[in-house]
Amino acid sequence: MLFFTRGSTFISSNEIYFDILDTMRCLRKRSAVSFLGVLVVCLLFMNLYIEDGYVLEGDKQLLRETATHQLNSERYVHTFKDLSNFSGSINVSYRYLAGTPLPRKRFLTIGLSSVKRKKGNYLLETIKSIFEQSSYEELKEISVVVHLADFDSFWCEGMVQDISQKFAHHIIAGRLMVIHAPEEYYPILDGLKRNYNDPEDRVRFRSKQNVDYAFLLNFCANISDYYVMLEDDVRCSKNFLTAIKKVIASREGSYWVTLEFSKLGYIGKLYHSHDLPRLAHFLLMFYQEMPCDWLLIHFRGLLAQKDVIRFRPSLFQHMGYYSSYKGAENKLKDDDFEEDSFDIPDNPPASLYTSMNVFENYEASKAYSSIDEYFWGKAPSTGDFFMIVFEKPIKITKIKVSTGTEDRQNDILHKGALDVGEQVVGTRKGKQCTTYLRLGEFRDGNFEVSEVEHKVVFDINCMRILVTKTQKEWLIIRSISIWTSQPPNQ
């Protein structure tokens, strides 16, 4: 039995559990209580049971009965059979429509959930893009799981036939599986709360979609080390797996819950596979509250990842013209997507300095990150600089610098140049190089040069962006990308 203190009084863990249950009952009676409050209480509830790992059988039974009463659905006991284990799998019997999982774990699982659309069908093109944009070596490390989540069995059978005919060799190789979660495992989807004044059919659609994804996540929990969610109308960039592996390696030693490789919807969101059971339970708990992409924001925050970690260029692009909801037009595109984004920059370790007046917390280091953030300085003057001093001399093959943003297109470097230098010395303005070689001028706020190793005979210690004419506009340096090669003697 665990005990906690409340002031000078000792209370048992059982009392805490019942206090939480009483609090939840009160919350249901207070219509003015925000959803965020309920979310926090439920998080505490989950954490107590996950961390303590000690629950009396009587408490388990009470919690099961409470959940069943709250949701008013006997069928929902299927998904919440054991409320004390939110890290465990959900009790669902899946139908294998095509393929079977191999015993060997892969590096990455790609999950797709698909339903019948009133207009258009992009699933086959999405699967084709995944495989065509991957090399033979990359194919050995991926597994694709398609959840046909429509209750129309004739549609499911037709899709399985099409998938099996077009991708038979991938199914045989164990790279592609098609599954289905039977309707009897779904919670009630009619008469749900109409949050945000959504019409009933939209509430049903987005609530079912949350459950579709939850069942898919639950199935994929032990197939690979990492998991990325795609929608069923997506085009992939070339060698996206290699790009993802490079990003994961660059984040080694840092904490993250979600890495994002697209800024649209539920596309290109990467997770550790060990987080999938909790995410699946989370989507089921709040399936009727809000759309899945909103729930993901809460999930990330509750697991202590405060900020979005999104990488450029985007690796996945939305290609569908018609939405899966009523066939409505959906023209959303990710303007950061690049078809050939295999060549992610190296950006070797460096210190960054600037003589410009930095605005708020948009410091220099943010321009050097592949994450979706940038440097922002107040109107620069002639002679102002942005300096990168590398930890050790390097061979550079390519440099690319972009300034301004889509919503601040005039905050670019109107007149500037880029230099590289050698022989670092300390000055009052920070570390700089003693000699520089100019590689070129900025054009329309951008700079790009290739084959730098043929233009520069020395190993580079510094790279400098120099303002050559005063401007009244502020300056955003959106990204600095550097590609390197090892010196011949290494």
Looking at the fold, whether 126 and 227 belong to one and the same domain comes out as yes
What is the structure's pLDDT at 33? 40
Looking at the fold, whether 278 and 156 belong to one and the same domain comes out as yes
Domain boundary among 297, 318, 339: 318
pLDDT digits (tens, 9 = 90+) for 74-83: 444 344 334 3
Amino acid at 384: D
Residue 67 lies in a domain: no
CATH of the domain at 394: 2.60.120.260
Q: Do residues 333 and 340 make contact, with C-beta atoms less than 8 angstroms apart?
A: no
CA-based nearest residue to 403, from 390, 389, 416 = 416
CA distances, 316 to each of 128, 241, 309, 451 (Å): 13, 11, 16, 28
Domain boundary among 278, 303, 318: 318
Looking at the fold, whether 304 and 356 belong to one and the same domain comes out as no
Task: Order across the sheet with 269-272: list the strands.
Answer: 95-98, 176-180, 142-148, 106-114, 224-230, 269-272, 259-260
Looking at the fold, whether 209 and 297 belong to one and the same domain comes out as yes
CA distance 467 to 448: 16
**Number of other residues whose CB lies within 10 A of the CB of residue 373:** 20
Domain enclosing residue 260, as ranges: 95-318
Looking at the fold, whether 224 and 311 belong to one and the same domain comes out as yes
Instruction: Using a cut of 0.75, tell me whether the model's pTM lies above it.
Output: no
What is the structure's pLDDT at 370? 63
Looking at the fold, whether 237 and 119 belong to one and the same domain comes out as yes
Q: What are 356's two structure tokens?
A: 């410009």
Residue 61 lies in a domain: no
Looking at the fold, whether 445 and 313 belong to one and the same domain comes out as no
CA-based nearest residue to 318, from 267, 259, 372 = 267
Residue 293 lies in a domain: yes
Looking at the fold, whether 164 and 284 belong to one and the same domain comes out as yes
| Total domain count, the chain | 2
What is the structure's pLDDT at 81? 39
Looking at the fold, whether 287 and 374 belong to one and the same domain comes out as no
Domain boundary among 269, 300, 318: 318
CA distances, 19 to each of 55, 63, 306 (Å): 15, 13, 29
Residue 65 lies in a domain: no
CA distance 205 to 66: 26
CA distance 38 to 27: 7
CATH of the domain at 280: 3.90.550.10
Amino acid at 293: D
Q: What angle do CA 252, 256, 258 make, to 5 degrees?
A: 120
Looking at the fold, whether 184 and 276 belong to one and the same domain comes out as yes
Looking at the fold, whether 391 and 293 belong to one and the same domain comes out as no
CA distance 405 to 411: 7
CA distances, 434 to each of 352, 457, 463 (Å): 17, 16, 12
Residue 25 lies in a domain: no
Residue 245 lies in a domain: yes
Residue 77 lies in a domain: no
Sites in the chain below the pLDDT cut of 70: 1-88, 119-120, 320-343, 370-372, 486-490
What is the structure's pLDDT at 50? 39
Strand partners, 237: none
Q: What angle do CA 453, 457, 461 make, to 5 degrees?
A: 85
Looking at the fold, whether 277 and 361 belong to one and the same domain comes out as no
What is the structure's pLDDT at 427? 75
Residue 10 lies in a domain: no
